[in-house]
Structure 1
Amino acid sequence: MTERPDLTPAFASSPADGSVPALTPTPAAAPTRGATPTLGSTPAQTVGPYLHIGLLWPDGPEVVPDGTPGAIWIRGQIFDGAGALVPDALVETWQADPEGRFDHPDDPRGAHRSDVPGFRGFGRSATDAEGRYEIRTVKPGALPGADGETEAPHLNLSVFARGLLHRLVTRLYFPDEETANAADPVLGTIDPARRATLVASPASDGFQFDIHLQGTDETVFFAV
């Protein structure tokens, strides 16, 4: 896996409901002097392959309800370094609303409940046997970034999968936002040859965004 650029996106933290679980086990209490310590089980080395069991809910992929005007589908497949599909991954999305606002206390403009009925800003989708995930949402607006710059409309994505000690964090930008993308302060830090890995492709009902965990087509991931 190539080196990941450092990035702390504005307001890109997970929702305040704590839906991303802590994966570090609580250490056992230290034994008293002279006592024979009790050895516990050795924790697993990866977060998979069954991390997502118990963490899904029926409308997890629905950032907005069915029938929402302007709703789009974000669909894609996840590939490992050998190009094989990953059937047991979990994708989470976190985004601003169409006005570029977050219903989150970390938004310095103040938490803002979206005018889009039922919009919650957060989605979660497990991949199927073909490595496919899907999220129904609305396109976010541009939002203020660090140093007064403006970030292009984008989604923040976290990927959990077998073989990963930690989640992988990336972004999805939109192909119809060329001017905004060209001025985006985050995309501007990425090697031009690799920026395309962060831009979705148009689809009939939204956008396609495939994620490559490793290899020559590896998606750019950020250290957050």
Structure 2
Amino acid sequence: MPQPLTYFKETASQTAGPYVHIGLAPGAAGFKIFETELGTDIAGPNAAGERIRVEGTVIDGAGAPVKDVLIEVWQANAAGVYASPADLRAEGVEDGFRGWGRIISDFDTGLFAFDTVKPGVVSGRNARPMAPHLNLWIVARGINIGLNTRMYFDDETEANDKDPVLNLIEQKNRRGTLIARRELRDGSPVYRFDIRLQGENETVFLDI
């Protein structure tokens, strides 16, 4: 005689929680587990191109900085080539260039920062050029599913105007939420990029 089916309630969803740093960036969380942590060096010492620094804050709907954010960065090199088998030109990437990094915000201020090289124009779908940009994936307490976005550069106006992703954003005033602002600090370029999760000037997030 067949047994009656047993139905279980759906398990409650859970956000990344405070343990995301221990698992993904243990050194930054104070746990010396690995001699070298994967992802902390984005460009490497041999990468060609302009050296830049990126700084910003992830801001919640109430306007407060989120202080437990983890951001993964994925980018091309200065020639617009990704260090990936999917990029047919990857063999020409500089030795040591990963083009990938993992950064967490400062636990006291919420500021995140990293050093890299400015990427070049990337060949997109149907060989259509995409403006120089960084791909960002954001996770933190309160975020059930990681958020994908991009960071473009305000001194690449001509390339930005032709970028296929930026041109998908119908509200032109919202395109600015994806563009970092350049300044010089002690003669070195620094790009400021704040990410707003909700509210006025909410950053455009991408469904990938």
Alignment correspondent of 2:96: 118
- Pick which of 199-208 and 173-182 moved more: 199-208
Structure 2 residues not aligned, in runs of 5+: 28-35
More strand by share: 2
Tell me: higher relative CO, structure 1 or 2? Use CA pairs within 8 A at least 6 residues apart. 1
Residues 98-137 of structure 1: pairs in structure 2 closer than 5 A? 98-107=78-87, 109-115=88-94, 117-128=95-106, 129-137=108-116
Question: Does structure 2 conserve the Cα–Cα contact (< 8 Å) formed by 1:61 and 1:136?
Answer: no
Secondary structure of 2:172's aligned partner: coil
Residue 157 (structure 1) aligned with residue 163 (structure 2):
no
Question: Does structure 1 conserve the Cα–Cα contact (< 8 Å) formed by 2:83 and 2:97?
Answer: no
| Aligned CA distance change for structure 1 residues 83 and 183 (closer, same or farther; 3 Å) | same
Distance in 2 of aligned mates of 1:196 and 1:112: 34
Question: Does structure 2 conserve the Cα–Cα contact (< 8 Å) formed by 1:124 and 1:135?
Answer: no
1:50 to 13, 16, 19: 19
1:112-131 CA-partner distances (Å, limit 9, x unpaired)? 3523x532100111111211
Alignment correspondent of 1:187: 166
More helix by share: 2
Distance in 2 of aligned mates of 1:199 and 1:103: 24
Distance in 2 of aligned mates of 1:119 and 1:54: 24
- The alignment covers a number of residue pairs equal to 190
Distance in 2 of aligned mates of 1:168 and 1:41: 24
Question: Does structure 2 conserve the Cα–Cα contact (< 8 Å) formed by 1:77 and 1:132?
Answer: yes
- Pick which of 118-127 and 43-52 moved more: 43-52
Q: CA deviation at 1:61?
A: 4.1
| Aligned CA distance change for structure 1 residues 182 and 147 (closer, same or farther; 3 Å) | same
TM-score with structure 2 setting the length: 0.81
Secondary structure of 2:176's aligned partner: helix
Alignment correspondent of 2:58: 78
Distance in 2 of aligned mates of 1:61 and 1:172: 19
